[in-house]
Chain A
Amino acid sequence: MAHGGGFGHNSPGGLLRYPEKEPFALKEYNSHYDHIFELMEELEHKGEILIHRITPEHKPVEVFTRTGRIKTIPTNKLWHHKSCGQCGNIPGYPAAIFWFMNKFGLDYLNEPHQTSCTAWNYHGSGTSNPVALAAVWLRNMHQAWKTGYYPLIHCGTSFGSYKETREQLIFNKELRDAVRPILKKLGRLTEDGRIVIPQEVVHYSEWVHAVRYQIAKLYESEGKSKGIDISSVRVAIHNACHTYKMIADDYPYDPEVFEGQRPAASTAVVQALGAQVVDYSTWFDCCGFGFRHILTEREFTRSFAIQRKLKVIYEEVKADLIVTHDTGCTTTFEKNQWIGKAHGMYYPVAVMSDVMFAALACGAHPFKIIQLYWNCSSYEPLLEKMGITNWRELKKEWEDAVNHIAQLEKAGKYDELMEFFKEYDLYEPYSKTASGKPKASATANIPLFKS
């Protein structure tokens, strides 16, 4: 049956919990996934693993998953497991996350002792294996645990891959036995030789979902006072495949979002902010990213994005904005619009993630924080509609700062540059590191990549 012990069931260690009655109509999914929480408790009892638990200092918020399980989302004291695609190609994405955390006065840790999950590479090229993927995941989880901060996964693919890797590890002793010696070599087991596994694998969109009413309050107090009004903005939601189709039983569903029949994160925050969520027929389709396709089968990616998503969203529901919650989808949708002009298939619509849109609504600077200059979609009409009518001045302000920095750097005036940054409003807490010791960078000596 779908739910381990039925409604009202609690596992002995409290990791697996269901409400007294179904929160919304449930399908019989024949899922065995939820059982991993009981198995985790057993493995901890046997001394094989240590569960990194969510405690009151993480200010937990409870949500439901597709099976009705209660999932605990930590909202404070978080270790940022950043996304390479977001930091590299959508810099306003992580900046918006940090911006909210600072606004809410939350404690967090952003440090250089993190690798990518390497799952994009795996799904794109097959050049890895489950043992390597598990070792990378557990290495990063151990680092978070060591610092005392709880891991928050920014990327949807990392989140999906980590959920799957955890399931494989818990169900397969052979995988645990294969990965343990590697972790030992890395010094990534506990002192008594246990593997560290987090209680919940948590995606940033789940965090946004958990704090959506706080975000809505900020919009009321700070966004609206700046003249921002999003009540007439039409938003088409694109849920990311790797968040809700990979290990489908571990992502939030909510009675207030399509009566619990569709993934809740992103839609719920847009609803809480009072914008209009518009439904469209291909909501279930992927974006066309395809991992290797966006780089090496590009005609597939753009054909799929344009024909199955952009055209439908433009023609069926006339959305002002596509709200995403993952890296590849955001890039695919914003970068593949312009080329449509060549075929008379230009369907301009703004594209950004839930957290970027929410931050804009709450008054974040569209360029300095949300970094929209990097975005190739037609976002200007959206800014106008939101009431951010001074976006040209804000853009100029940003460009002036960039030019000033570039000139000082070119002229080698580093002292002046340092002085400038003292005045520039950097946000606190500004990147603490776990050891407090500055470390040499792995990339410092590598020439700028050219090919």
Chain B
Amino acid sequence: MEGHIYGYNLPISEKTKVVPWEEKVRVVEEVKADFRYKEYIYGCLNCGVCTASCPSNRFFDYSPREIVQRFLEDDVEVLYDMMHEYIWACSQCFTCWIRCPFVNNPGGLVAIMREVAVRNAFEATKDLLKPYGRVLLKVMTTGNQLSADMLQPDFFPDWGPKMADNMENLRAKRLAIPFDVGKSVKTAWEVSLETAVEMYTIWRETGIFEMLEKLDPNLYNVIMDIVEENEERYQELTEED
């Protein structure tokens, strides 16, 4: 039988098998080098409380207990394999964190693993995040993650017929809110240009644009066009002042 004798019984993928051992070690060590790692994993009773209360476990072949156990056993092969698709099942609800008697944070471990997967631009990660591109575009360029115009009914037929009514006269509806909220349909609120430009500086200084370039070069180019245009506009405005 492939996989671990108990627990992680998914077969190790062929793609993982052909990756040189040193490379797998490097990736797993990158996770363990994160400063949060030591705060997210202490001991493990193997009690399964985390998995029993995990929402993703109910519908996916996924178990936070497995993740914690594999780290404690330093099971490089399985951890490397998990970092391709397995970890993306997690709902990031942190039920495991509040319930674990050791105060382990399996959801937090997943966050580190995902971040490392994105940084290393794994093919599976690229594919998984493709449909998520519109959120990335929004957050990288405007400083807002969501806006009213993103809920187009065509994308959400399962949300029912009311969705189409919602989008009708959207702008007028937002203007009719008697408070200054939700007025912009392209962003959640009007984000001042100087604020968006500060955000771009943060992305640049913290390596997020680089991450994005490796993940999706086309999306990166679209984003950088908007970023540079806004930065120029801001520059001009400051010079006018």
Binding site for B on A (CB under 8 A): 29-30, 82-89, 91, 94-95, 98-99, 110-116, 118, 120-132, 135-136, 139, 160, 168, 171-172, 174-175, 181-182, 185-186, 188, 241-242, 244-246, 248, 284-286, 288-293, 295-298, 300, 302-304, 308, 335-339, 368-369, 371, 373-374, 376, 398, 401-403, 405-406, 409, 424-427, 430-431, 439-443, 445-446, 448-449, 451
Closest chain A CB from B134 CB (angstroms): 5
Known contacts A91-B174, A131-B206, A116 near B143 by CB under 8 Å: yes
Is B187 part of the binding interface, using a Cβ–Cβ cutoff of 8 Å?
yes
Binding site for A on B (CB under 8 A): 35-36, 39, 53, 55-56, 58-60, 88-89, 91-95, 97-98, 103, 111, 114-115, 117-118, 125, 128-129, 131-139, 141-151, 156, 158-163, 165-166, 169, 171-182, 184-199, 201-203, 205-208, 211-212, 215, 226, 229-230, 233, 237
Task: Tell me whether B179 and A126 are in contact (CB under 8 A).
Answer: no
Residues of B contacting A185 with CB < 8 Å?
Answer: 201, 205
Residues of A contacting B139 with CB < 8 Å?
Answer: 116, 118, 121
Complex CA–CA separation, A401 to B59 (angstroms): 45
Q: A116 is contacted by which of B55, B89, B97, B144 (Cβ under 8 Å)?
A: B144
Residues of B contacting A302 with CB < 8 Å?
Answer: 158
A405 and chain B: residue at smallest CB distance:
B172
Known contacts A98-B181, A401-B176, A116 near B188 by CB under 8 Å: yes
Greatest chain B CB density within 10 A among A160, A172, A373, A402 is at A402
Task: Tell me whether B191 and A112 are in contact (CB under 8 A).
Answer: yes
Known contacts A123-B92, A124-B135, A289-B91, A88 near B146 by CB under 8 Å: yes
Known contacts A300-B59, A302-B158, A373-B165, A245 near B174 by CB under 8 Å: no
Known: A113-B194, A373-B165. 10 other contacts (CB 8 A): A87-B189, A136-B199, A136-B202, A182-B201, A245-B97, A368-B177, A373-B173, A402-B173, A440-B233, A451-B133
Residues of A contacting B178 with CB < 8 Å?
Answer: 95, 368-369, 424-427
Residues of B contacting A289 with CB < 8 Å?
Answer: 91
The contact sample of 19 A-B pairs, CB cut-off 8 A, is A84-B144, A84-B189, A88-B187, A91-B182, A112-B190, A113-B192, A115-B144, A116-B139, A118-B139, A125-B132, A174-B35, A182-B202, A248-B97, A284-B95, A295-B132, A439-B193, A441-B192, A443-B184, A449-B149
Task: Tell me whether B196 and A298 are in contact (CB under 8 A).
Answer: no
Complex CA–CA separation, A427 to B101 (angstroms): 49
Complex CA–CA separation, A181 to B206 (angstroms): 11
Q: A127 is contacted by which of B59, B141, B208, B226 (Cβ under 8 Å)?
A: B208
Complex CA–CA separation, A89 to B188 (angstroms): 8
Complex CA–CA separation, A401 to B156 (angstroms): 27
B161 and chain A: residue at smallest CB distance:
A338
Residues of A contacting B133 with CB < 8 Å?
Answer: 451
Residues of A contacting B128 with CB < 8 Å?
Answer: 296
Q: B92 is contacted by which of A172, A182, A291 (Cβ under 8 Å)?
A: A291
Task: Tell me whether B179 and A94 are in contact (CB under 8 A).
Answer: yes
A94 and chain B: residue at smallest CB distance:
B181
Residues of B contacting A296 with CB < 8 Å?
Answer: 128, 131-132
Task: Tell me whether A126 and B118 are in contact (CB under 8 A).
Answer: yes
Residues of B contacting A369 with CB < 8 Å?
Answer: 178
Task: Tell me whether B192 and A442 are in contact (CB under 8 A).
Answer: yes
Q: B95 is contacted by which of A110, A121, A286, A442 (Cβ under 8 Å)?
A: A286
Residues of A contacting B145 with CB < 8 Å?
Answer: 84-85, 116, 118, 120-121
Residues of A contacting B134 with CB < 8 Å?
Answer: 449, 451
Known contacts A288-B91, A374-B166, A336 near B159 by CB under 8 Å: yes
Known contacts A172-B35, A182-B201, A284-B95, A125 near B191 by CB under 8 Å: no
Residues of B contacting A430 with CB < 8 Å?
Answer: 179-180
Complex CA–CA separation, A449 to B136 (angstroms): 12
Known contacts A123-B111, A291-B91, A335-B156, A186 near B180 by CB under 8 Å: no
